[in-house]
Each structure stands twice: as C-alpha cells, then as structure tokens.
Amino acid sequence: MITFTLKRILQLIPVFFGATLLVYFLVFATPGDPIAALSGGKPMSPAVEAALRAQYNLDQPFWVQYFLYLKNLVSFDLGQTFSGQPVSDVIARAMPVTARLAVMALAIEAVFGVIFGVFAGLKKGKIFDSTVLVASLLVIAVPTFVLGFVLQFVVGVKLSWAKPTVSSGAPWGDLILPAVVLGLVSLAYVLRLTRTSIIENKSADYVRTATAKGLSRRRVVVVHILRNSLIPVVTFLGADLGSLMGGAIVTEGIFNVPGIGNLLYQAILKGESATVVAVVSVLVLVFVIANLVVDLLYAWLDPRIRLV
Amino acid sequence: MRYNRTSKALVLSAALALTLTACGGGGGENPSASSGGDASKVITANSTEPQNGLLPANTNEVGGGRVMDLIFTGLVSYDATGKPVNELAESIETTDAKNYTIKIKSGQKFTNGEPVTAKSFVDAWNFGAAAKNAQLNSYFFESIKGYDKVSAEKSTLDTMEGLKVVDDTTFTVELSRPESDFPLRLGYTAFYPLPEAAFKDPKSFGENPAGNGPYKLAENGWKHNVELDLVPNADYSGPRKPANGGVTFKIYNSFDAAYTDLLANNLDVLDQVPPSALQNYKTDLGDRWVNQAYAGNATMTIPSYLPEFKGEAGQLRRQAISMAIDRQQIIDNIFFGAKQVAKDFTSPVLDGYSDSLPGNEVLTFNADKAKELWAQADKIDPWPADKVFTITSNIDGAGNKEYITAMANQISNTLGIKAELNPIPTFKEMRTLVGEKKLTGASRAGWQADYPSLYNFLGPLYGTGAGSNDGDYSNPAFDQKLADGLAATSVEEGNKIFNESQEILLKDLPVVPLWYQAVQGGWSENVTDVKFGWNGVPIYNAITGK
C-alpha cells in the first residue's frame, strides 16, 4: 500500500506541470490586454504602462513568461496579483473559507444522503421512498442559483433566521446556509446512489445467510448491506470534494463568500495569470489527493480489492 | 475616479436630476436635522476590494478611492454639490492662472505623528509624478512644470521644477501653461499629502496607510477581500467631522448580494441598486432610497479614423445618427425611466452647466431631419450599399447589450441602413480594441468626472492627442477654445468659454452624447442622514445611527 501511495504521489508531478502549462496558456491566450483594463479607460502615462508590463513579465513572449513563472515556483514564490499582494497570501486567506464550506457541504450530503438513501432502499416502494425520490428529483432539476437566491431571500430576509451573506471571518454559523445550497444537489445524487446500491445488495446471498444465522437486523443492515453498498457512494463523494472546492463559484457569489471560487472568477476577469494558475494548481492537487483517499478507502471497505 | 467595469454598466438610472441640490426621486428625502442620532454607530457600507495599495497617486477606482477620501484630506474637499471647500488650504492664490501660491493650515498631523507641512504635499506630488514609482494617476500632475522630464520612460529624476517649498506652511506651484481650473482639481485623491514614512516603504505604507483625514484605518483594518474597518481620527479638525462611530466597508463581488443584505438590514448603505432590483427598489425600501444625477455621462464614440465619417459628409452623417436615436424611449423602456437625456457633453451637476447650448437640437430625436441629413451626405459620398454601421460594446456589464441593440434598431429604422451591435465578451478586450484604434465602427463610451469641472469632461476627451481621446478627434478651433478657457482668470469666465467650445463639438460630434448618469442608492432602517455627493458616492461622514 505504501508503494501504491508513493506511485500515486509521483504521478502528481507530470499532472501538475501539464495543468499549469495548459492553464497558463489559456490565460495568456484570452483576448484583451490586462494592463489596458487596469487603467479603466483613463489615460496612463507610457512610462507607467511599461513599468507595469515589465513587473508582470507581460512584455515577454509566452515561453519566457511561463519559464519565469516556473522558476519562481521552485523557490515557492507564486508571484503577485495586480494589486501587488503575494498570490500565496491571497490563496492562504481564501482557502480555509472554501475548505470549511466544502467540508460542511460534504458532511451534509454524506450524512443525510446516506441515511435517507438507506431508509428509502430498505423500504422500497413505500411512501417514504417515493417522497424522497420525488424531492431529490426536484432538487436535481432546479439550478443551484435559483435554489441559492430563494433560500437566501426566504431564510435570510423574510424569516431572518440567518444572515443573507457571510460576515467577516466566515464563521461556521454563517456558512450553514451556503453549505446546504452547495451540498443539496450532490445530496440528491448520494441518496439515489445509496438507495439503488442498497436495493441491489439487500437480496444478495450473503445477506440472506447473515439473516439466517440469526444476526440482529441492525447488524445485517449496517455491517453487511451498508458497507458493501458504500463503494459507489465513496467514489462519488471523493470526486465531489474536488468539485465542491472549485465549483463553488455560483454559491460563493450569491452568499458573498470570500473563497477560492470568487477569487478565481475575479482573477480570470482581470487576466491575472499568476493567481489563476496557482488556484487551479491547488485544485488539481485537491482532486488528485481526494482520488487517492478514495482508492485507499476502497481497500478498507472491501478487503477483496488489492492496491498495486 | 475611473469608470470601473461594474459601475459603468450597473449605474442604470437618473430620474429627475435637475441639479444635485434638488433632491432626486422625492422618496429619498431624509430629515435634515441630525439631532438625536446615535453618533457611536459603526456604519456598514458596500465597496469593492481596492485594486492597489492605498497610495493617493495609485488609486484610480472607486473601491480604493472612497477609502482614500475618508482617511486622507487634501487642500480642499468637495461638498455635496461639488463645490470645493478649504480643508488644509488656508489660501490658494494666483494672478495669472499659471503661478499659484498655496498656504496651508499649521498644526495638523498624520496619524503616525508626523506633522503635515508644505513639504508633505510637494514630496507626495513629486512621488506620484515620477516614472520610477509607476503610479497610475501620474498624468494628473502633467500640468506642473517639469512633469515631462520626471515622467519620461526610464527617467530617474524625482522632483518637478514647478514645485517649491517656501516655508513649513507655504509652497508654490508653477504650471507649464495657464490652467484656471487647477484649484478645482486639488480635492482629487492624487493630490493628497503623504508623510515621510510613505516614501521609505511605499508598499507596506499602502497596506497600512497613515493619513490625515476624518477617519483612519483600524489596526489590521484591511481584511483583504472581506472588509475595511475605519474608525474616527480624533486629530482631524476639518469640515468633515464624523457623525458616526466608524465606517466598515464590506467587500461585495455582486450588487445583488449587497442589495439582499440591505433588505435584511445587514448592510447600512448601498450606493448601487443592482439592475435586477431597479423595477422594485422604491417599493422594497419605502422612503430609504435616492435617485440623483452625478457627474458622469454615457456617449457613443464615432472615431475620426473611419473613412465614412470624415469631412463634410462625415459631419452630416454624425448629426443624422444622433438625431435618429430616440433617447427617451430607450431610457423609459430599458432603464425604467431612470436616466436623463443628454443636452451637452458634460453633466448637469457641474457649475457652469447649460441645457440650452446653441446647436444642441442635434441631440434631440428628429426622424425627418435625420433622413434629410443622411440623404445630403449620400449626395457628397454615397454610403456603400452593403455597409453595416456597427456599435462595439463589451457585454459583460448588465444592460449594455439591450440598450445598444435598441439604439442600432432605431438607427436602422430611421436611416434605412444596416446597424448592429458588435458584442465583445469582456471589458478588458473592449479597452484593448479601443486603445489600439482598431474599431471599424462606433463604440460605447462614457466618462465619470475625477473632479467637478466642465474642463474635465472636455480636455482629456476631445483635445488633440489627449489621453482619453479614443476617437482621435482633432480640431484646432476647439483646442484654441480649451486653451482660452484655461487661461481665463475666473472660473465663470472659463466656464463661458468651455461652453463655447462645446458648440464646436455639437457640430463635429466626435461622440454622440446619450444621457447623464444617476446613482440609485438605499439605506437600512438603522441609519439616517444619508446623502450622496456630486460623484455619486455617499457622504459617509455625515451618516448617523437612529
């Protein structure tokens, strides 16, 4: 298992270089001049313009720009934003907020998704099952931004149960509402995955054997049915952590969360390569590590799976 | 202040806007007496993350500008109507509009303890102008003698010969030519003084500035991308005394989120109602809103380098296009009646504004006259049969696409030519196209004043070779009028000449003026005495708790 982990970590290196090169090129290739946008249509003296271009290497051809970026990267210098702040600081401020949001969303979808999924699966065709199925279909069908705005208005403005936006320091309490919005769609998928899986497994031979042995209903469900049903769910959750971290742009926008999604969006609009590349690289790392954890979890859930 | 991506597009409105003093919508009137308010309340207001460190000469957008204006104070500040009021200036004297002697009040200090002296101003201005410091606002010092030398590329000079310290409270300014509106500019962010500490380490000073304004940055007050906390500065003794316990600027990336916060009383002052709420904000907010004109306008540039728009035929075509646009119809249907039809090239909130300049009928919709002018132009130089009149605009700002499409349709219907929107995805791309003079048709444009003066709407935009003259307009007669206006020794005399210069513009139409901008703002149930200034920015220091 250690070799397996090491191999996977080594694979990170080419993935990382490929991703940074691609993203750097994409930002480079977007039309429009970031320095022209900085002046916002007001005049800028040629000397100032030249100085700014030189400062961000924008006067260099693509390969030189990318090489200089890599060179700084080796010494753990992620570059500067157009406002002169180190990109590493900017990410260090935004990352914990998004991580907290993503973990909360993941917890909500995992806990509620699995619990509802198990009950729905065990009581297939009953009223609870049908209700849950219809509700999850609705959640999947409604776009996140509609859900976000409606919940924000009803809970935040009309009922005043929570603040409509996240306040300074992004306290856990303020993040509940955005986390629910962020996790709701995935919750519906987790629920459906769990339900299907449970239905398949509950008529399996080993379940009948376990029941015949006289094991308690609780032990049959938790140890025999659930554990075997979790593999597809865990795969989904692992991949989902990555999308929750990087795909929270809409939710972060609605609730004004100062996280990675917002940061990335603003940086793309400004054409700030250093920030975009750094953020995307971090997200790539998150994806890869989440996948690694999922693979390790497989072996734990199902001892038949060998990691090589 | 620069016209930023969002504000440009989102500031959709302007209802009555007769003058700034005539309070806009009527619903927004608030009790003028401020007695009994809670002066200890900390006001929360919306803002955007300042683009750069907080240095006067490097702040050219509203997010940083509104903070700078509270934590610094210059020689003058502007009152709600845009009239300059002395802050640190004891007197600003000149006899020829070229040489100025400026006396400042003594005994003032920065929040780091350094005194504010004549040298604080001279050093700060030199710092802002010098090329080696690469400050975005450096062109603001271009009228000062010696600017050309310090601002030249690779120049290592750091002082302008036109600035001289006489004693601790006096300094002199020599301009390279007479400019009567120079004193009007002195309230702009770029002209604030700086303490010695700023020059030693500009970068860390920009993160944690020591100013001399009515407020100061709280300790660790700048939480990047989250909020900026300002607290009253006890040492400040000028006319903008805070009536509250501080201002917290919350950083929003969307006005929709800020508006929702306002509805929940989770935000006290919002300076821009989002387009999605323009139809309903008056009912949503009861009597807690304002709709008033500010010093900004929207225009359509028709570049001089387009072959079809040169010479006599070109002039006739420009006039025809201007008269083919039914501005009021667009304002009513797309902006919900919240803008004001333009009658000139400036703004109605400015001193010297006139809505009855000779020749301004060219800005009024008149389909018959437009057709007639177009036919005359066709006789001189026929419009190619398959030629499309395009209007280039970025479409990442809300409302742009809608109004320009409507405008193109009006032009098309009236003149019988093909006209359409040429959509550009982002503001950045649009600026590049305009800057490189690669337009093949007209383009969306606009101006937001840096300081309240007619000249600021004319010189930088239409003077030959001027910095923001995107359409490459050049007319010696107009340049002469500008120079004459600047050489006038009184503001009134200058304004008269500037208005004469506008008569030339009304014939040439380097841009087609469309409408004046207005600010739609609102405030929560927890505050009172909310007023908006000449530039559409709330007067934060006057706001008080209920």
Residue B139 scores a pLDDT above 50? yes
A–B CB contacts, 8 A cutoff, strictly below: 158
Tell me what pLDDT residue B467 has.
80
Contact assessment for residue A75 and residue A222, using Cβ atoms and an 8 Å cutoff: no
The band of B64, judged by pLDDT with boundaries at 50, 70 and 90, is very high
Measured CA to CA, the distance from residue B512 to residue B318 in angstroms comes to: 8
Of A87-96, A175-184, B34-43, the range with the lowest mean pLDDT is B34-43
Q: Which of helix, strand or coil describes residue B526?
A: coil
Instruction: List, for residues B281-327, the tens digit of each pLDDT value.
Output: 999 999 999 999 999 999 999 999 999 999 999 999 999 999 999 99
User: What does the mean pLDDT of chain B come to?
Assistant: 89
Tell me what pLDDT residue B249 has.
97
Residue A287 scores a pLDDT above 80? yes
Tell me what pLDDT residue B230 has.
97
B379 interface with A at CB cutoff 8 Å: no
B131 interface with A at CB cutoff 8 Å: yes
Q: Which of A8, A16, A14 is nearest to A280 (CA)?
A: A16
Measured CA to CA, the distance from residue A278 to residue A264 in angstroms comes to: 9
Shortest alpha-carbon distance between residue A241 and chain B (Å): 24
Of A5-14, B95-104, B445-454, B485-494, the range with the lowest mean pLDDT is A5-14
Of B256, B260, B434, the CB nearest to A157: B260
A44 interface with B at CB cutoff 8 Å: yes
Instruction: List, for residues A70-129, the tens digit of each pLDDT value.
Output: 888 888 888 888 877 889 999 999 999 999 999 999 999 999 999 999 999 999 889 999
CB contact under 8 A, A265 and B253: yes
Tokens 């030398």, residue located = B149
Q: Which of B194, B48, B22, B42 is nearest to B124 (CA)?
A: B194
Contact assessment for residue B57 and residue B206, using Cβ atoms and an 8 Å cutoff: no
Tell me what pLDDT residue A41 has.
64
Task: Kindly report the backbone phi and psi dihedral angles of residue A110, in degrees, each rounded to the nearest multiple of 5, phi listed first.
Answer: -70, -50
CA torsion, points B536, B541, B543, B546, in degrees to nearest 10?
170
Shortest alpha-carbon distance between residue B177 and chain A (Å): 19
Mean pLDDT for the stretch of residues A46-51: 83
Measured CA to CA, the distance from residue B437 to residue B348 in angstroms comes to: 30
The band of A33, judged by pLDDT with boundaries at 50, 70 and 90, is confident
Residue B500's Cβ-side half-sphere holds a number of Cα atoms within 13 Å equal to: 16
Residue B11 scores a pLDDT above 70? no
Shortest alpha-carbon distance between residue A297 and chain B (Å): 37
A257 interface with B at CB cutoff 8 Å: no
The band of B451, judged by pLDDT with boundaries at 50, 70 and 90, is very high
**What residues 253-272 of chain B have any CB closer than 8 A to a CB of chain A?**
253-254, 256-258, 260-261, 263-264, 266
Residue A295 scores a pLDDT above 80? yes
B465 interface with A at CB cutoff 8 Å: no
Q: How far is CA A145 from the centre of its chain?
A: 17
The band of A148, judged by pLDDT with boundaries at 50, 70 and 90, is very high
Query: Which tokens is B496 given?
Result: 């008269």
Instruction: List, for residues B94-121, the tens digit of each pLDDT value.
Output: 998 899 999 999 999 999 999 999 999 9
Residue A40 scores a pLDDT above 80? no
Instruction: List, for residues B367-418, the tens digit of each pLDDT value.
Output: 999 999 999 999 999 999 889 999 999 887 767 899 999 999 999 999 999 9
CB contact under 8 A, B468 and A41: yes
Contact assessment for residue B49 and residue B187, using Cβ atoms and an 8 Å cutoff: no
One DSSP character per residue, B431-467 reads: HHHHHTT--SSEEEEEEE-SSS-HHHHHHHHHSTT-T
Measured CA to CA, the distance from residue A230 to residue A232 in angstroms comes to: 6
Q: In chain A, which residues have their Cβ closer than 8 Å to the Cβ of B254?
A: 253-254, 256
Measured over the CA atoms of residue B183, residue B187, residue B191 and residue B196, the dihedral's sign is: positive
HEC states along chain A?
A: CHHHHHHHHHHHHHHHHHHHHHHHHHHHHCCCCHHHHHCCCCCCCHHHHHHHHHHCCCCCCHHHHHHHHHHHHHCCCCCECCCCCEHHHHHHHHHHHHHHHHHHHHHHHHHHHHHHHHHHHHCCCCHHHHHHHHHHHHHHHCCHHHHHHHHHHHHHHHCCCCCCCCCCCCCHHHHHHHHHHHHHHHHHHHHHHHHHHHHHHHCCHHHHHHHHCCCCHHHHHHHHHHHHHHHHHHHHHHHHHHHHHHCCHHHHHHCCCCCHHHHHHHHHHHCCHHHHHHHHHHHHHHHHHHHHHHHHHHHHHCCCCCCC
Q: In chain A, which residues have their Cβ closer than 8 Å to the Cβ of B60?
A: 39-40, 42
Can you give the length of chain B in residues? 546
CB contact under 8 A, A42 and B467: yes
Q: Which of helix, strand or coil describes residue B32?
A: coil
Shortest alpha-carbon distance between residue A287 and chain B (Å): 25
Contact assessment for residue B290 and residue B23, using Cβ atoms and an 8 Å cutoff: yes
Tell me what pLDDT residue A83 has.
79
Measured CA to CA, the distance from residue A126 to residue A128 in angstroms comes to: 6
**What residues 205-244 of chain A have any CB closer than 8 A to a CB of chain B?**
none
Shortest alpha-carbon distance between residue A269 and chain B (Å): 8
Tell me what pLDDT residue A286 has.
85
Instruction: List, for residues A56-71, the tens digit of each pLDDT value.
Output: 888 888 888 888 888 8
Tell me what pLDDT residue B33 has.
43
Kindly identify which residue of chain B lies nearest to residue A272, measuring between CA atoms: B428
User: What does the mean pLDDT of chain A come to?
Assistant: 87
Residue B54 scores a pLDDT above 60? yes
**Angstrom distances, CA of residue B91 to CA of A7, B88, B340:** 75, 9, 37
Q: Are strands B544-545 and B418-424 parallel, antiparallel or unpaired?
A: unpaired
**Angstrom distances, CA of residue B349 to CA of A41, A206, B26, B373, B534:** 22, 83, 17, 32, 7
Shortest alpha-carbon distance between residue B156 and chain A (Å): 11
CB contact under 8 A, B260 and A153: yes
Measured CA to CA, the distance from residue A243 to residue A105 in angstroms comes to: 11
Q: How far is CA B277 from the centre of its chain?
A: 24
A171 interface with B at CB cutoff 8 Å: no
The band of B16, judged by pLDDT with boundaries at 50, 70 and 90, is very low
Mean pLDDT for the stretch of residues B63-73: 95
The band of A308, judged by pLDDT with boundaries at 50, 70 and 90, is low
Tell me what pLDDT residue B397 has.
72
Residue B30 scores a pLDDT above 50? no
A51 interface with B at CB cutoff 8 Å: yes
Shortest alpha-carbon distance between residue A108 and chain B (Å): 24
**H helix runs in B102-249, sequence order:** 118-129, 147-150, 182-185, 196-200, 202-207
HEC states along B321-368?
A: HHHHCCHHHHHHHHCCCCCEECCCCCCCCCCCCCCCCCCHHHHCCCHH
Tell me what pLDDT residue B31 has.
40
CB contact under 8 A, B252 and A50: no
Find all residues with CB under 8 Å of A13, minimum gap 6, and list them.
none
Q: In chain B, which residues have their Cβ closer than 8 Å to the Cβ of A38?
A: 51, 136
Instruction: List, for residues A11-28, the tens digit of each pLDDT value.
Output: 878 888 888 889 888 888
Q: In chain A, which residues have their Cβ closer than 8 Å to the Cβ of B3?
A: 40-42
Contact assessment for residue B128 and residue B134, using Cβ atoms and an 8 Å cutoff: no
Tell me what pLDDT residue B314 has.
94
Tell me what pLDDT residue B21 has.
31
- Which residues is B329 bridged to in the sheet? none
The band of A307, judged by pLDDT with boundaries at 50, 70 and 90, is low
Tell me which of B355 and B2 has the higher pLDDT: B355
CB contact under 8 A, A50 and B260: no
Residue B170's Cβ-side half-sphere holds a number of Cα atoms within 13 Å equal to: 5
Q: In chain B, which residues have their Cβ closer than 8 Å to the Cβ of A168?
A: 223, 226-227, 250
**What residues 60-89 of chain B have any CB closer than 8 A to a CB of chain A?**
60-61
**What residues 115-154 of chain A have any CB closer than 8 A to a CB of chain B?**
149, 152-153
Measured CA to CA, the distance from residue A182 to residue A263 in angstroms comes to: 17
Q: Which of helix, strand or coil describes residue B149?
A: helix
Mutate which: A48, A85, A87, vs B, most B CBs within 10 A: A48
**H helix runs in B81-170, sequence order:** 118-129, 147-150
Is the model's pTM score more than 0.90?
no
Measured over the CA atoms of residue A134, residue A136, residue A137 and residue A139, the dihedral's sign is: positive
Measured CA to CA, the distance from residue B513 to residue B506 in angstroms comes to: 9
Q: In chain A, which residues have their Cβ closer than 8 Å to the Cβ of B136?
A: 38-39, 44, 48
Shortest alpha-carbon distance between residue A195 and chain B (Å): 37
B252 interface with A at CB cutoff 8 Å: yes
Kindly identify which residue of chain A lies nearest to residue B394, measuring between CA atoms: A32
